[in-house]
Copies of this chain bind each other. A is one copy, B any other.
Amino acid sequence: MRFEGMEVGFDIPALPGMDAADVVTPCLIVDLDALERNIRKLGDYVRENGMRLRVHGKMHKSVDVAKLQIEIGGARGVCCQKVSEAEAFARGGIPDILVSNEVRNPVMIDRLAALPKLGPSVSVCVDELANVVELSAAAERHGTELGVLVEVDCGGGRCGVETPGAAVEIARAVVDAGGLRFEGVQAYQGAMQHLETWEARREKLEAAIAITRGVVDALTAAGLPPDVVTGGGTGSYPFETQSGLYTELQCGSYAFMDADYGRIRGANGERIDAGEWENALFVLSAVMSHVKPHQAVVDAGLKVMTFESGLPLVFGRDDVSYRGASDEHGVVDDPGGVLKVGDRLRLVPGHCDPTCNLHDWYVGLRGGKVECVWPVSARGKAW
């Protein structure tokens, strides 16, 4: 255990070169080998299937992970959900950024329109006609160009136009507006990604594809054929790929995985964390109290993981299990009394995206050593 460099106020849980055993807990750790295998695997898939890949940066919120996905994983750029996230990626040098969401706050529309001046190609989604006027005025004010995709509600029940006619009306307004470039259609069905069985997901995706096809056909008939039809997540990307309709995938969670995604099943009934994707992200936690013989208390609770998608799994162990959380504590069942104070557990968080949003740093491990410490570049960037 080294103390030098880790004095009062050093708010980073590790230093490069440190033994993995000396990393301060709790913190987020990344198994770099597993991460790279996941990233290369999806890169191979999109190449073999002639798709484009725009990874979802809102999952990891990290410029460093996004760069790895571009360099070794076939990604053309990122999507994200907020202008402030897009700013973090733009400042980090990511060349192609889609805000896969509507932007309606005037300050943030202005900042979105300014962003191409930093270098990247920038696009955004629209689901109401009035937004076209707002975006066009801002882009013209800054002398920039924004790509625009019409968002279609293909079953998620959240944002997005509900009719092909509304999509055509918006696309035509975009084509006629200054400072905007009509790119195509955003159709992401988020609500089905975590349905457990392959068949249940396939059914939802077929409905989504049918809705999206109706919009694409209407746009084409109106002389506005979309260059881009984008969507698809870790729970659905084979369906979008096979559709013959989508041109681009937006997978995010495949790179890190989490406990909730791990539970879903592939085409042959196998868990997707049992072969398709590896767990590369963990909350590293340590036992901090073990007064009761069959219960350990660990240092990882609500402050370092979110629980809206369920409890974390204890990676690689079936002798202990995480039973419940309070803000700074986790209660771990230890029926055999095998744990002792200081013992470390790798927890697979229930839901990776909001868990990453709690942390400032990823500690990258390889071969028992800390290889890198990456900032969570877009953490907390909510507007």
A247 to B378, CA, bound (A): 44
A145 to B216, CA, bound (A): 71
Taking each of A118, A153, A354, which has the highest tally of chain B beta carbons within 10 Å of its own beta carbon? A354
Range, interface on chain A: 35 or more
Stretch at the interface among A195-203, A221-229, A258-266, A326-334: A326-334
Nearest residue in B to A156 (C-beta to C-beta)? Answer: B326
Q: Which of A338-383 contact B (CB under 8 A)?
A: 341-342, 351, 353-354, 357-360, 380-383
Given contacts A105-B25, A383-B13, contact A297 B360 (CB under 8 A): no
Q: Is A357 within 8 A of B357, CB to CB?
A: no
Taking each of A25, A307, A328, which has the highest tally of chain B beta carbons within 10 Å of its own beta carbon? A328
A121 at the A/B interface (Cβ < 8 Å)? no
Q: Is A328 within 8 A of B58, CB to CB?
A: yes
Q: Is B291 within 8 A of A128, CB to CB?
A: yes
Q: Is B114 within 8 A of A159, CB to CB?
A: no
In the assembled complex, how far is the CB of residue A55 from the closest CB belonging to chain B, in whole angstroms? 15
A353 to B100, CA, bound (A): 30
Q: Is A308 within 8 A of B297, CB to CB?
A: no
A153 to B292, CA, bound (A): 10
In the assembled complex, how far is the CB of residue A49 from the closest CB belonging to chain B, in whole angstroms? 27
Stretch at the interface among A34-42, A176-184, A270-278, A298-306: A298-306
Which residues of chain A have a CB within 8 Å of any CB of chain B?
A: 1, 3, 6-9, 11, 13, 22, 24-27, 58, 81-82, 84, 87, 91, 101-108, 110-111, 114-115, 118, 127-128, 130, 153, 157-162, 166, 190, 286-292, 295, 297, 299-300, 302-304, 306-308, 325-329, 331, 341-342, 351, 353-354, 357-360, 380-383
A-B contact pairs, 13 of them (CB 8 A): A3-B107, A8-B115, A24-B105, A25-B383, A27-B382, A102-B288, A102-B289, A104-B288, A104-B341, A105-B286, A158-B326, A159-B288, A303-B354
